[in-house]
Every structure is written in C-alpha cells, then in structure tokens.
Amino acid sequence: MKKVYNRHYDEMIFGNKLFFLGNSITSISIRIKEYVVDCDPFDPPCFPEVRSGPQAYRTEETDNVFFDNVQFHNIMKAIIPVAGAGTRLRPLTYTQPKPLIPVAGKPIISFILDQLIELGIREFVFVIGYLGEKIKNYVDTEYPHISREYVNQEVRLGSGHALWTAREQLKDASELFIFFGDTIIDVDFQKVLDSPHSCLCVKKVNDPREYGVVEYGPRGKFVKRVVEKPRIPKSDLAMVGFYKIKDVARLIEALDFNISHNIRSNGEFPLTDAFMYMIDKGVKFTTVTADNWFNCGKKEVLLDTNATFLDRDGYASSDLPPFDNSILIHPVSIGKNCNIQDSIIGPHVTIGDNARIKRAIIQDSIIGNFAHIKDINLQRSVVGNDTAITGLRQSLNIGDNTEIDFSLPRG
C-alpha cells in the first residue's frame, strides 16, 4: 500500500487500483507513476491525455470511487534558475548565494518554493552554478518532501541558456512553471494556473530598458512581441520572472534553435528570445499583472522588500524572549539563540540565528547568522553570516560653543 499526496483528500493505491474515500468528491489531484492530473472524477472529457484507462465506478455499498489501471500524462514541473553570481549584491554574495539571503526571516528561495508548492507543484528542477552546493544543501534539508533535480550551468550565458541546460529534465512536462530565483512577487497564482494558454507575469515599470518587455497585439488579448532590454521601448510592461509554458516541446525547440544558430541579445541567450520564437510559430501567450514585484538583486530593493514583508501579518517575530536592557521597536524578525544586550533594535530589522549584539542601534537592516555586532549604529545595512563588527567609541570632554561632526562626508 502506498500513500499518495493529494491536496483535496486522502487517496490510496492497492496494486494498480486507486480509490478515493468519501461521497462528496468534486475535484481530483492525483499522482500515479509520476503522472499528475486535476479533474472531475466523473467527467470523462477531463482526461484528454490519458494513456490507458480510466475505468471509473462507484460501489453501491460504500459510495467510494475506484479507478482501474490508470496512467496519466499530465506533469506540472517548475524550473528555478539560481546559477547567477549576484554581482550587484557583492561583497555579500561572495560567500552567500543570492537566493539564500533572508528577507523578513525567510530566504528568497523559500518564498518561491512555498508559493509553487501551494499551487500543487511537487516536481522541481534547479539550475545551479555559483555556490550551487549551498542551495542544494538548503533545499534538500528544508524541502525533503518535494521531487527535485539539480542541473549545473557551468558557463552562464543567460536565462535561455539556463533552461536549455536542463532540457532533458523538462521534456516530460506537460506544463512548465519558470520562476527566477531572485524574484518575490505578489500575484494571483490561481489565475496563472487556470489560464488555457502560456502565460507571462508582467508589471509596469518606469524604465523598461532594463527588462524584457511585452507588447500586445491589436486587440490586446495575446502578446504580439517580447523584446529583451529594448533601446526604445514600445511598452512599459516588464516581464517579472514568473511564467507558465503550456507547449514545453516548442520551448525546447526554440532554445535549441537560438543556441544552435548563436542568436544572442546583448551577448547572451535570454529566455525572451525563445518566447519570441514561440510567438512567431503561433504559440499564444497571455499575461497576468503582478500586484507587487520585488526584484531582490540590489541592496536597496532587498531592504525595502524586507520592510514590506515585516509589515505584513505572519512575518515578524512574536513572543520573543526578554533581552537584557534592550528595546525592540516592532516589526522585527529575530532568529533562534540570539544574545542582545544594551541595544535598540528596529523597526524593520531581520536578525539571523545565533547573532550576538551588544551596545548597538540597528534599524532597517538585515543581519546574518552568527554575526557579532558591538558598539555601532547601523541603518539600512546588510550584514552577512559569521561577520564581526565593532564600532568606534569616544570619551569626550567638550567645552561651550563647540560643534563636532563625526558623520562621513557626503557626495
């Protein structure tokens, strides 16, 4: 007997026979022999890609539902490219991969995984590279229940190249969700899931020249064109790093074509060019607009994102232990086994596990695990793991009519 995950209700497999307990079944999300499907169990048209079966029937005695010899061919997979070096966040990313940087007490990659798992996705492919072993160790430890594969992108030649590197792992997917590993978004994920077409998540931006840009067709229903970092943008809709692909075979064909013909944009193989190939071949793309997009590739965005999530329910710490002669200005997120003395912490501060802080004032900052901070005032700062910082203390005897400025020169 094998227990199988189901987000709607329990299901069991005995041999090759699957049955569902209960008489109020309205929707099925099942996984058999690596195949997944969502459907109404008594509507045969809901099985468009069934390879054998199904034979569905109820038993008069128990009103249970049985399926005999079922094999499905509908696999939802997610791919998360996390091979980037995070150069805009150096020196922090010299030793810490960007997807593991904490925001409101939670690594960026956990926001992504939790959202996708909530959608019902259980099969993941990670494209790793720079400090990839740290990402693998984190995912293996924190998400042991998901099916996961790791592909190494030895040479980083763009987002399209990252997916092409994992093409063998994607071939059996009937739907593919692409989520860039440095992106946190607020969006109606169910709307993306329910779209009958491939779907791009977008957001209006002030300067679209830095992003992949979406242009609509004349009726505004389907995407007409996507352009990577256009010099003269014709749209202010930027692609935000979350996409659903219905025709995975066509995507792989597009990636193969661009790479084999060395078709590059700005020296790389962006995913945008593969999407444009698919559009030219007749694949329909729709869009869903993100409510918020946090592109955590820069320090200022990272800190603003940290503050935004700490202000939301469920992210800030509660029931914290008393800290010696210290003041907490909420919201803050403080990890386990921290020692804080004679300090003022907050607002909008995230502190990792096992940090030691003494005689410090910290606000609007992110502090890593095992950091030691003493005698300093920190504002809008990001401090990495295992870091020691000791500030400068003065003992002053100042006479009348004196002005002293210890601040750094501006400019």
Express each pLDDT in 266-295 by its tens digit: 889 999 999 999 999 999 999 999 999 988
Q: Select the CATH number that applies to the domain covering 321-411 from these four: 3.40.50.150, 1.10.10.10, 2.160.10.10, 3.10.110.10.
A: 2.160.10.10
What does the alpha-carbon distance between residue 387 and residue 367 come to, in Å, rounded to a whole number?
A: 9
The most confident of 77-86, 90-99, 330-339, by mean pLDDT: 330-339
Residue 67 has pLDDT above 70, yes or no: no
Alpha carbons 225 and 203: distance in angstroms, whole number: 16
Q: Residue 293 has what pLDDT? A: 92
Span of 22-26, 100-104, 390-394 with lowest mean pLDDT: 22-26
Whole-number pLDDT of residue 388:
87
**pLDDT over threshold 90, residue 136:** yes
Residues of the chain with CATH 2.160.10.10: 321-411
The most distant pair of C-alpha atoms in the chain lies apart, rounded to whole Å, by: 97
Residue 54, preceding peptide bond in cis (omega within 30° of 0): yes
Segment 126-154 shows an average pLDDT of 93
Q: Output the pLDDT for position 393.
A: 60
pLDDT score recorded for residue 4: 32
Kindly indicate the confidence band of residue 396, based on its pLDDT and cuts at 50, 70 and 90.
low
Query: Six-digit token pair at 250?
Result: 């066509």
User: CB–CB of 128/83 below 8 Å?
Assistant: yes
pLDDT of residue 298: 82
Which residues, including other chains, have CB under 8 Å from residue 318's CB and lie 6 or more apart?
none
Residues 187-221: b if buried by 16+ CB within 10 A, e if exposed: bebeebbebebbbbbbbebeebeebbbbeeeeeee
| pLDDT of residue 47 exceeding 60 | no
Kindly state the average pLDDT of the residues 174-198: 92
Q: What are 352-372's pLDDT values in tens digits?
A: 999 999 999 999 999 989 999
What mean pLDDT is predicted for residues 249-274?
94
Measure the CA–CA gap between 26 and 46, rounded to whole angstroms: 12
**Bond from prior residue into 347 cis (ω within 30 degrees of 0):** yes
Is residue 239 scored above 50 in pLDDT? yes
Q: Which residues contact 248 (CB under 8 A, 6 or more apart)?
A: 170, 171, 173, 174, 175, 176
**What confidence score (pLDDT) does residue 331 get?**
95
Round the average pLDDT of the chain to a whole number and report it.
80
Place of tokens 């569902």: 20
Q: What is the pLDDT of residue 92?
A: 74
* Cα 114–Cα 118–Cα 123 angle in degrees, nearest 5: 80
Q: What is the pLDDT of residue 64?
A: 38
Q: What pLDDT is stored for residue 410 in this prediction?
A: 57
46 — alpha (psi -120 to 50), left (phi > 0) or beta?
alpha
- Candidates 64, 77, 61, 73; CA nearest to 19 is 64
| Helices 108-118/132-142 angle, 10° precision | 50
Is the overall model pTM greater than 0.75, yes or no? yes
| Pair 287, 199: CB distance under 8 Å | yes
pLDDT score, position 10:
32
pLDDT tier, 162 (very low <50, low <70, confident <90, very high otherwise): very high
Fold entry, domain 76-300: Spore Coat Polysaccharide Biosynthesis Protein SpsA; Chain A (3.90.550)
What pLDDT is recorded for position 251? 96
Average pLDDT, integer, range 306-328: 91
Choose the weakest-confidence range: 135-139, 229-233, 307-311. 229-233
Mean pLDDT of 148-169: 93
Where does the pLDDT of residue 338 fall: very low under 50, low under 70, confident under 90, or very high at 90 and above?
very high
* pLDDT for 169: 93
**Is the pLDDT assigned to residue 60 strictly greater than 90?**
no
pLDDT band at 49 (very low <50, low <70, confident <90, very high): very low
Would you say residue 178 has pLDDT above 90? yes
- Burial class of residue 364 (count of CB atoms within 10 Å of its CB; 0-12, 13-18, 19+): middle
Specify the domain boundaries for CATH 3.90.550.10 within the chain: 76-300
Is the pLDDT score of 8 beyond 60?
no
Between 21 and 135, the more confident residue is: 135
